[in-house]
Chains A and B, each alone.
Chain A
Amino acid sequence: MTNLCLVALAQQPENRKQFSAGLAWSLAQAKPDYTRFERFMHWVQNVPAAEANTSGGCPWVPGTAAWVAPTVAMVIAFGLALKLGYTDPNLATQIRRARAFLLSRECPDGGWNTGSSQLRTKASYAYPEMTGMALLAFDRASRVGIERALHLVRTMLKQPESSEAQSWLSMAGHLHHLGVPPSAPKPCRSVRDLALYLLATAGLQNPLLV
């Protein structure tokens, strides 16, 4: 949530003091690499090897496990900080770690679920809204590691399940220049749906596309 607030604060120069304070707090939340005990527990719990060794994500609530959505928010906020001229080397480090975290959680079908790529004994499947959102964390100049996900976005955009899914997928399409023609908008059922729709239709003016 703090990272989303940072995105909003970054839009107004007069909010720079609050932005700096929020950024410092967010940087301090960065998870260190997994401890030996955590790795052992991952082994016991059959966590896929790639996930078991890749920390760097961000939790919803401090002190709990990391998930895709808050990790993406962190990458966007830190990317904005770099754009604004902040020079803390931890920013680039945490972005790199977060991207590694996301890549390690990519589902076998090429997209993202809320967190793990595996649900106990079965592979997780991609959610369209999470797949679109996750792709906002990746550099538009480089497509290394996300080619399958981009292909999946093209497929998902043909039949998005919801307005929210359509908006996140469209944003990913804009960021990564997929050139997918816009489809008929799904009904917005909430203020959040409407806000995301407006962001998605803003193209590259969208502040979430860093």
Chain B
Amino acid sequence: MNQSLSRRYFFFGSLALGFTSIGCAHRSQALSSKGRSYPVSVLKAANYSIELEDIVRRVLIEHAVAVRGKRVLLKPNLVEFNPYKPINTHPAFVAAVAGAFRALGAAEVRIAEGPGHRRTTLDMAEAAGYFAAIAQFESKFTDLNLDAVRKVKLKQPFSTLHELYLPETALGCDLLVSLPKLKTHHWAGATLSMKNLFGLVPGAVYGWPKNILHYAGINESVADLHNLFPRQFAIVDGIEGMQGNGPIEGYVKHSGVIIAGAHPPSVDATCCRIMGIAPEKIKYLKLVAARSGWPIEGVVERGESVESVRSRFDLIGDLEFLRG
């Protein structure tokens, strides 16, 4: 352990000791609420060559997702040019999900993303393999960083934000489908279906990166964005995840799993358990739980058990406290 890590451990360790009693009281309050449990599907998927579209179609039917005639917006996680590291949602995964929604009668299936660091979204999509995997990709894709925007007021925000400009494409869809990669995150602990919504915030308004969300509170902003989009479904690409210093500088973790459900916090909580992270230690999940009464530990998993697919992800030293 180097000197700087010791310094941080000491500082935050002292703070943590001071706030332990407050945190415990907060957690007890959340868990004592009578909340609803949401089903989450956990499915094994060894690689991207298998019949992913069929798997996704079965998941959507199992969750009775209303698809026919709906305008569906798929929101993958497209972050960097590098096609060799597991940074971006795999193009075959996005293609399979798009195919499944079309097969079930969606009126429109669009793909949209607003990367947080790079402005060259389409070039990045091409480098990541999206053009090759998805026919006529460019005509089906919206760069949310450059989309028309509308001002939305935040009611009872968790963050210090009171309003946000958001893209019309996202606000106008019937169903927002978050397609994140199963990854660690060096600030939030894990970046999953809820954190993936940061890509909805337009760079043309807030810059690259969208630093205003960090100033307003990363975890609080994640919870706010979740609340702004009530019609969601989440399908997590956990076939190959990223461990270590995610979401960009980490390394591959072959997890061979897909996690899906209509309640993103429940999906993310299940993802955390699979990754060897305690979901009750992820702040944005705690915020949602405290506000809504949703019991973090009350997720109903379908398909594979978490134990059968658990795949302990390496965490950077500063985040080891997130272990379950």
Contacts and interface: CB of A to CB of B under 8 A. Distances in A.
| B is a partner of A | yes
A93 interface: no
Interface string A102-131: 000000000001110001111000010100
Contact of A67 (B119, B123, B146, B209): B209
A190 B146 CA distance: 10
Contacts of B249: 119-120, 122
B212 interface: yes
Interface in B135-157: 138, 143, 146
Contacts of B4: 46
Contacts of B316: 120-121
A39 B180 CA distance: 35
Given A59-B211, A121-B317, 10 more contacts: A44-B11, A61-B206, A61-B212, A64-B212, A120-B318, A127-B118, A161-B123, A162-B120, A186-B123, A192-B146
Nearest to B208: A114
6 contacts: A44-B8, A61-B207, A64-B211, A119-B249, A190-B143, A192-B146
B212 A119 contact: no
B122 A164 contact: no
B81 interface: yes
A120 B269 CA distance: 25
A99 to B, nearest CB: 20
Nearest to B205: A61
A60 interface: yes
Contacts of B186: 119-121
Nearest to B3: A46
Contacts of B138: 189
B251 to A, nearest CB: 11
Nearest to A69: B208
Nearest to B317: A121
Contacts of A61: 206-207, 211-212
Interface in B77-94: 81
Interface in A114-156: 114-115, 119-122, 127, 129
- In the A-B complex, the 7 residue pairs with the smallest Cβ-Cβ separation, listed nearest first, are A60-B207, A162-B123, A162-B120, A189-B122, A120-B186, A46-B4, A122-B249
Interface in B269-324: 316-318
A56 interface: no
Nearest to B249: A122
Contacts of B34: none
Interface in B46-85: 81
A24 interface: no
Given A119-B186, A120-B245, A161 B120 contact: yes
Contacts of B206: 60-61
Contacts of A59: 207, 211
A60 B127 contact: no
Contacts of B318: 120-121
Interface in A58-91: 59-61, 63-65, 67, 69-70
Contacts of B118: 127, 129
